[in-house]
Amino acid sequence: MLLWRRPEKLSDWSLNHCRLPELDDASKARLESFIKLQHDSRVDTALFNPSDSHLLVFCRPDKVHIWGKNRAGEWSIQTTTRECAPTIRSCFSLSGIHALTCNSSMVGILGRNDQKHWSLKGVIRQEDILKAYFNPLSEHEVVVLSRTTDDDDTDITLQVWELTASTNSPLF
């Protein structure tokens, strides 16, 4: 995976310059100044947290990496897990200290303990999950939309789960 540093003003440069056959020296230098993040698996999707200091990367077939950037701007893998994959949806909380991964039967919530350590804080197991995300108004609430089907009837359920400080039962 290749990352380019964001210029001070976004209008100064865009990746559209990559398509031009002839680049000026400044554009060539910017294009060649990428940061390479290497995985042992194919990258499916990647998502930055709100502060741009962490990157949630989903690799096929079933890995989730969280990369972190230190104060010197160097990137390293902080966590690799298979517990939350494969995913149909992922997101960071507004503060960036929690990450959510979701598949059709499970929602995994990863939390950052400090700058370099992420761990699984909780799991919500349900059948036929359609969508899960952090409540934008509350850092500690996870909203899960699921479907149940009985005969010809389909019910859609919306549940709100709260993250708690308890170590034995992170979700209730």
H, E, C per residue of 40-102: CCEEEEEEECCCCCEEEEEEECCEEEEEEECCCCCEEEEEEECCCCCCCEEEECCCCCEEEEE
Rounded CA separation 115/150 (Å): 46
**Is 10 in a helix, a strand, or coil?**
helix
The count of domains in the chain is 2
**Residues 12 and 43 reside in one and the same domain:** no
What count of other Cβ atoms lies within 10 Å of the Cβ of residue 6? Answer: 10
What pTM value is reported for the model?
0.73
CATH number, domain of 123, equals: 2.130.10.10
**Residues 58 and 14 reside in one and the same domain:** no
Q: Is the pLDDT of residue 128 over 80?
A: yes
Q: Round the average pLDDT of the chain to a whole number and report it.
A: 79
Rounded CA separation 13/30 (Å): 9
**Residues 92 and 150 reside in one and the same domain:** yes
Q: Is the pLDDT of residue 27 over 80?
A: no
Name which of 20-24, 38-42, 124-128 the model is least confident about: 20-24
Indicate whether 126 belongs to any domain.
yes
Rounded CA separation 66/18 (Å): 28
* Over residues 18-44, mean pLDDT: 69
**Residues 25 and 62 reside in one and the same domain:** no
**Residues 70 and 127 reside in one and the same domain:** yes
* Over residues 73-93, mean pLDDT: 81
What count of other Cβ atoms lies within 10 Å of the Cβ of residue 19? Answer: 7
The 10s digit of each residue's pLDDT in 130-151 is 999 999 888 789 999 999 888 8
Q: Is the pLDDT of residue 15 over 70?
A: no
**Residues 154 and 74 reside in one and the same domain:** yes
Q: Is the pLDDT of residue 29 over 80?
A: no
Q: Please enumerate in sequence order all residues whose Cβ is within 8 A of that of 158, keeping only pairs 6 or more positions apart, or say none.
A: 143, 144, 145
Asked if 120 and 84 count as a contact pair (C-beta separation under 8 A), the reply is yes
**Residues 31 and 63 reside in one and the same domain:** no
**Residues 155 and 91 reside in one and the same domain:** yes
Name which of 10-14, 55-59, 62-66 the model is least confident about: 10-14
**Residues 113 and 132 reside in one and the same domain:** yes
Q: What is residue 82's predicted lDDT score, i.e. its pLDDT?
A: 79
**Residues 121 and 158 reside in one and the same domain:** yes
The 10s digit of each residue's pLDDT in 84-106 is 667 777 888 888 889 998 888 89
Q: Please enumerate in sequence order all residues whose Cβ is within 8 A of that of 141, keeping only pairs 6 or more positions apart, or say none.
A: 134, 135, 160, 161, 162, 163
Indicate whether 172 belongs to any domain.
no
State which residues form the domain around 3. Answer: 1-36
**Residues 58 and 1 reside in one and the same domain:** no
Indicate whether 167 belongs to any domain.
no
